[in-house]
Amino acid sequence: MRGEDDSWIPAFRDEPVASESLGNLHNQIMAAIRRDPVDFHVRMELARRRRWGLAFAASWLSLGLICLTALIFMPQVWWSMLLGKIRFAVGLGIAVESLWREYSWQLTGFAVTAGFLIAGLKGRTSRLGMDDTRATW
């Protein structure tokens, strides 16, 4: 079944390659390098960014898995405490919303008035300067 096919043997002989072929190969390689040069600083920066990006993604993934594990294995007492805090936050949000609905115009007027007063006082003292007697209260 296995024949005496020796056609592959000449490929592994140490015979010199023609200098014309080497010259053409060298010219083609140099032309390709000149046409599209490799900027190794950019490549190293890109590799560094990829490493940091992978580290960042891995840290967020591990944090998410830890939180998920904590939520899955959290005892019933913690669940009730967590739900109580969520209910408290929702109730606090409703209270703030109703207070804002009731007193929003008064609070806005107070804030605008305070802003005008502060801007007026700041402008008055900066125009008079330190030597002017009118700057004292």
Phi/psi region, residue 120 (left: phi>0; alpha: psi -120 to 50; beta: rest), is alpha
pLDDT above 80 (res 64): yes
Instruction: Compute the Cα dihedral for 65, 67, 72, 75 and give only its sign.
Output: positive
pLDDT value at residue 112? 92
pLDDT value at residue 134? 57
pLDDT level of residue 1 (50, 70, 90 thresholds): very low
pLDDT value at residue 52? 93
pLDDT value at residue 79? 77
What's the DSSP call for residue 136?
Answer: -
Q: Is 4 exposed, middle or buried (0-12, 13-18, 19+ CB in 10 A)?
A: exposed
pLDDT above 60 (res 78): yes
Interatomic CA distance for residues 91 and 74, integer angstroms: 24
pLDDT value at residue 73? 79
pLDDT value at residue 128? 53
Interatomic CA distance for residues 55 and 61, integer angstroms: 10
In the chain, the percentage of residues whose pLDDT exceeds 70 is: 84
Query: Tens of pLDDT along 101-121?
Result: 888 888 899 999 998 888 877
